[in-house]
Amino acid sequence: MHVDDTGIRLAPGFSGSGDVLFDGRRVWSFSVDRASSEAPTVAWPKRMKRLLDGRVEVRIVAGAKEIYAGEHQFGTSTERLRLVDPQGTPIIVDKWGLFQRPFEARDPSVVHAMTDRAAEILRVMREDCGVEGWIAFGTLLGAARSGRAIGHDSDIDLCFLSTASTPAAMSADLWRIARALRRAGMRVTHASASFITVRFRGPDGAAAGIDIYITFFLDGLFYETATVRAPVPREALLPLREIEFEGRMLPAPADPAKLLEVSYGPNWKVPDPSFQHQPGPEVVDRFHGWFGSLMHGRRDWRHFNATAATSDAAPSDFAEWVCGQITPDTAVIEVGPGGGADLRRYAADGRQVLGLDYALPAALVRAAERMPSARVDPLNLYDRRDVLVRGARMSRRLGDRVLVAHRVLETLEPDGLEAFWLLASMGLRRGGRAYVGGVTRHRAAGHEWSQRHGAGRVYPFSPAAAEEQVRAAGGRVVERSGFEAAERARRGGPPAEWRMVVEWPERGSAAGEERA
């Protein structure tokens, strides 16, 4: 066997799962489906790879057998390698290749607090919405095995059964639950039209989350997110029963074993941290068509923003330029504040500042709470409902205001770009300006930048082509710079910064009437 900075080269004939431990702590699990006469190679997950810099003892365990042990130097750092989040909480890479904070590495008070919050969510669903929910997936798995949370798990999963007859009506059920939870003071994030997450701060100061999923029956099959489509009898689900989880009795399906078997297979009683759901396209494609996705790189950008929020980054030249164009009485709405360096600059002169982002880092949320004239709210440009509601609220706001966005447009897919200009047109139709800037890179350079910084995708954005969208949204570009350099960058030239100022004349003004 061999371990290096690219991955793990296993012995010929290896198959099954393995756990990777750094200095005695499990950080990742992998699996090899089929044995081969050739030595299989398992690459480090991309999110993990960018943190591999330092010395650490690597152990690889397959079942009860240690198959590798040795000190390894990753990268160039002479420090001990520690996989932790910005708050210092140990993290692992889960079966999806995502960073998680496992229960086994956190204080026991965390899972107890999450269990209490799950019970409160179930109460709100039942009393305010008339919906009965139950614990599901890894949470149900832990309850059925031992009555406790699984050590390598990191959240609590809940489900409810929708009896609606169409995906749109099912989604309406979920939105109704989300509104009730917000009224109860909870912070809710939509991942898709079939999946929401309640986020809060754990007792250890790190983030915690509880996921809520739609389930339903269709044509004799039971659907449980985009991972399960199976002939499950209703009697296996209803009526709900109670099961012990972390010292509390919580609702569960009538036959937990049946639900766990369709989710995890007949060997569900055997722990396997590397287990991955592998649904076929007949499940995944249906679910995506019915319920879509509101994630669009959100996890990568949340990680990128969390890192930026804990750095001492200075405000950008773009923010200084904007501040030179506006007065201290001008309210600023920033789309995509990222780590918050520019948001702090806008608020430094006492301006009222609102930061809107679909990947708000917890550090920025806490920082905004300490700023008297600034606040941050979630906004997902891929959720048209979210955009329309926010645009309507902005349109009712009186007084001088501007919309700013720096290094945002090049990160958006076409529907996100369309939504951005829709938001701007709604929010600035009483009169106002949008200050927009970014960096254009060609496709290969954008991919390299994203990989190096652990960020989401960036696209070869053309500010010149965006003018058509501006006009369609009722605005006009009144100032521009860097457009020609941006076009050269798209064709393979060096990265180029660009800026534009877009104006929406107040309705009823001479400019507005002339264009009408």
The domain 298-515 belongs to what CATH superfamily? Answer: Vaccinia Virus protein VP39 (3.40.50.150)
pLDDT of 507 reads 63
User: Is residue 516 scored above 50 in pLDDT?
Assistant: no
Contact 251, 161 (CB under 8 A): no
DSSP 3-state assignment of 452? Answer: helix
pLDDT of 209 reads 93
Q: Give residue-wise pLDDT tens across range 57-75.
A: 999 999 889 999 999 999 9
Q: Which of 437, 443, 444 is nearest to 463 (CA)?
A: 437
Domain 105-291 bears CATH identifier 3.30.460.10? yes
The beta-strand segments (E) located in 88-186 are 92-93, 99-100, 133-135, 156-161
pLDDT of 419 reads 96
Q: 1 pLDDT band (50/70/90 cuts)?
A: confident
Q: Where are the domains of the chain?
A: 2-83, 105-291, 298-515
Q: 273 pLDDT band (50/70/90 cuts)?
A: low
Q: 511 pLDDT band (50/70/90 cuts)?
A: very low
Higher pLDDT, 454 or 338: 338
pLDDT of 34 reads 79
Q: 38 pLDDT band (50/70/90 cuts)?
A: confident
Q: 187 pLDDT band (50/70/90 cuts)?
A: very high
pLDDT of 513 reads 40
Mean pLDDT of 145-174: 94
Q: Give residue-wise pLDDT tens across range 343-382.
A: 999 999 899 999 999 999 888 998 999 999 999 999 999 9
Name the residue with tokens 């954008």. Answer: 446
The dotted CATH code for 2-83 is 2.60.40
Q: Which of 317, 377, 314, 306 is nearest to 339 (CA)?
A: 306
Supply the DSSP symbol for 113.
H
pLDDT of 349 reads 86
pLDDT of 274 reads 60
Residue 420, H or E segment: helix 414-427
Which residue pairs, CB below 8 angstroms and at least 24 apart, start in 218-223?
222/262, 223/283, 223/287
pLDDT of 359 reads 92
0.85 cut: is pTM over it? Answer: no
User: Is residue 108 scored above 50 in pLDDT?
Assistant: yes
pLDDT of 7 reads 92
pLDDT of 226 reads 79
Q: Give residue-wise pLDDT tens across range 211-246.
A: 999 999 999 899 998 788 899 999 999 999 999 999
Question: How many other C-beta atoms can be found within 10 angstroms of the C-beta atom of residue 478?
Answer: 10
d(CA 313, CA 117): 35
User: Is residue 188 scored above 90 in pLDDT?
Assistant: yes
The beta-strand segments (E) located in 139-264 are 156-161, 187-192, 195-201, 207-218, 221-224, 228-230, 241-245, 248-252
Q: 158 pLDDT band (50/70/90 cuts)?
A: very high
Mean pLDDT of 281-301: 85
DSSP 3-state assignment of 55? Answer: strand
CA distances from 377 to 179, 189, 358, 364, 409 (A): 15, 11, 9, 11, 19
Higher pLDDT, 153 or 487: 487
User: Is residue 514 scored above 50 in pLDDT?
Assistant: no
The amino acid occupying position 228 is V
The amino acid occupying position 42 is V
d(CA 163, CA 230): 17
d(CA 322, CA 294): 30
Mean pLDDT of 5-29: 91
pLDDT of 373 reads 93
User: Is residue 153 scored above 50 in pLDDT?
Assistant: yes
Supply the DSSP symbol for 235.
G
Q: Give residue-wise pLDDT tens across range 381-424.
A: 999 989 999 999 998 877 889 999 999 999 999 999 999 999 99
Mean pLDDT of 260-286: 79
